[in-house]
Structure 1
Amino acid sequence: MLSYTGLGKRNLGNEYFLKSGMGLRCVDEGVTHTEMNTFSIPQQHLTSSSTARWKQLWSLVALYASVVIGWIAYQNYQPKLLVKFNFTDFTILLVAVEAIILVITPPLAGRLGDRYRFKQGHRIPVIMAGISFAAMIFMAVAFTLFSNPGEIFKWILPVLIVLWLIAMSIFTSPALSTMELFVPVDKLPKAMAIMTIVANLIYAIEPVIVDIIDTLGAPLTFITGGVVVLLSGYALKKNLFDLFSTTNNKESFPVDSFQKDNRKSRYGMIMLLGTALGLCTTILFNVFPQTLDAKLSDVTALDGKLQVVMVLLLSAVLSLPVSTWVNKLGLEKSFYASAIVSLLSMAGIIWLPGVWVVLLASVVFAISFTALSISALPLALKNSNYYEKVFCVGIFFSGVALPDGVVELLQVI
Structure 2
Amino acid sequence: MLQTTSFPSPPTKILWRQVWGLSVLLAAITFSWIAYGFYQPRILAKIGFVDLAAWLGIFQGLLGAVVEPIVGWFSDRLLGRFGSRLPQVAVGVTLAGLIFVIVSWLVEAQLAEQLRWIVPVMMTIWVIAMIIFRGPAIALLQGFAPTSQLPQANSVLALVLAITSATSPILGLILKQIGASLTFILGAIALLIGSVLLWSSMPRHLATATSPELTIANLTPNSAIAYSLPFLVGLGSGLEINLLLHILPHHLFAAIAHLPVEYSQSAILLIAGLATLPLRSLFGRQKTAFGMGCGLTIIAGCLTLSLLSENGIYLILISAIASIALGLVLTNTIPLALAMVPPHQAGFGTGLYFGGSGLATAIFASGVIALGEIPVIYGAFLSGFALAISLICLKKFINSTV
Q: Per-residue displacement from partner, 1:176-208 (whole Å, max 9, x unpaired)?
A: 000001112222112222122212212222111
Correspondence 1:391 to 2:348: yes
CA 1:166–1:46 in structure 2 vs 1: closer, same or farther (change >3 Å)? Answer: closer
For 2:343, give the aligned amino acid: Y
Q: Per-residue displacement from partner, 1:108-165 (whole Å, max 9, x unpaired)?
A: 1111101101111112222111111111110110111232323233321111111101
1:412 to 344, 369, 379: 369
CA 1:350–1:167 in structure 2 vs 1: closer, same or farther (change >3 Å)? Answer: farther
Deviation at 1:251, TM superposition (A): 6.5
Deviation at 1:348, TM superposition (A): 1.4
Question: Once structures 1 and 2 are overlaid, which stretch shifts more, 372-381 or 344-353?
Answer: 344-353
Q: Per-residue displacement from partner, 1:23-64 (whole Å, max 9, x unpaired)?
A: xxxxxx99xxxxxxxxxxxxxx86442211122111110111
**Cross-structure match for 1:374:** 331
Deviation at 1:216, TM superposition (A): 1.3
2: CA distance between counterparts of 1:187 and 1:346? 31
1: CA distance between counterparts of 2:91 and 2:35? 21
CA 1:92–1:290 in structure 2 vs 1: closer, same or farther (change >3 Å)? Answer: closer
2: CA distance between counterparts of 1:181 and 1:319? 21
Q: Kindly, what percent of the aligned residue pairs are identical?
A: 25
**Cross-structure match for 1:146:** 108
**Cross-structure match for 2:360:** 403
2:302 to 345, 366, 382: 345
2:234 to 263, 274, 285: 274
> Which structure is higher in strand share?
1
Question: Once structures 1 and 2 are overlaid, which stretch shifts more, 307-316 or 135-144?
Answer: 307-316
CA 1:390–1:46 in structure 2 vs 1: closer, same or farther (change >3 Å)? Answer: closer
For 1:12-411, what aligned pairs fall within 5 Å after superposition?
47-91=9-53, 93-240=55-202, 242=203, 245-246=204-205, 248-249=206-207, 264=223, 266-297=226-257, 302-327=259-284, 330-350=287-307, 352-411=309-368
Deviation at 1:280, TM superposition (A): 2.6
1: CA distance between counterparts of 2:274 and 2:197? 27
**Cross-structure match for 1:22:** none
For 1:233, give the aligned amino acid: S
2: CA distance between counterparts of 1:305 and 1:143? 29
**Cross-structure match for 1:4:** none
> Which structure is higher in helix share?
2
- 1:59, 1:232 within 8 Å by CA — same for their partners in 2? yes
Deviation at 1:94, TM superposition (A): 1.9
CA 1:159–1:357 in structure 2 vs 1: closer, same or farther (change >3 Å)? Answer: same
Deviation at 1:252, TM superposition (A): 10
CA 1:146–1:355 in structure 2 vs 1: closer, same or farther (change >3 Å)? Answer: closer
- 2:11, 2:143 within 8 Å by CA — same for their partners in 1? no
1: CA distance between counterparts of 2:59 and 2:268? 31
Gaps of 5+ in 1: 1-28, 31-44, 254-262
2: CA distance between counterparts of 1:203 and 1:231? 18
For 2:334, give the aligned amino acid: L
Question: Once structures 1 and 2 are overlaid, which stretch shifts more, 284-293 or 108-117?
Answer: 284-293
Q: Per-residue displacement from partner, 1:70-104 (whole Å, max 9, x unpaired)?
A: 11111111110111000124345423321222211
- 1:91, 1:412 within 8 Å by CA — same for their partners in 2? no
- 2:10, 2:147 within 8 Å by CA — same for their partners in 1? no
- 1:273, 1:377 within 8 Å by CA — same for their partners in 2? no
For 1:187, give the aligned amino acid: Q
2: CA distance between counterparts of 1:180 and 1:168? 20
Three-state SS of the structure 2 residue aligned to 1:87 is: coil
2: CA distance between counterparts of 1:124 and 1:326? 30
Three-state SS of the structure 2 residue aligned to 1:390 is: helix
* RMSD (Å) for aligned C-alpha atoms: 2.5
For 1:186, give the aligned amino acid: S
TM-score (norm 2): 0.82
Aligned residues: 356
CA 1:66–1:291 in structure 2 vs 1: closer, same or farther (change >3 Å)? Answer: same
For 1:289, give the aligned amino acid: P
Gaps of 5+ in 2: 212-221, 371-402
Q: Per-residue displacement from partner, 1:292-319 (whole Å, max 9, x unpaired)?
A: 111344xxx5333322322222222221
Deviation at 1:354, TM superposition (A): 4.1
Q: Which has the higher contact order (CA 8 A, sep 6+)?
A: 2
Question: Once structures 1 and 2 are overlaid, which stretch shifts more, 284-293 or 345-354?
Answer: 345-354
TM-score (norm 1): 0.80
Deviation at 1:361, TM superposition (A): 1.9
**Cross-structure match for 2:374:** none
2: CA distance between counterparts of 1:309 and 1:162? 26
- 1:107, 1:395 within 8 Å by CA — same for their partners in 2? yes
- 2:142, 2:346 within 8 Å by CA — same for their partners in 1? no
2: CA distance between counterparts of 1:141 and 1:48? 40
CA 1:152–1:311 in structure 2 vs 1: closer, same or farther (change >3 Å)? Answer: same
For 2:192, give the aligned amino acid: L
For 2:232, give the aligned amino acid: L
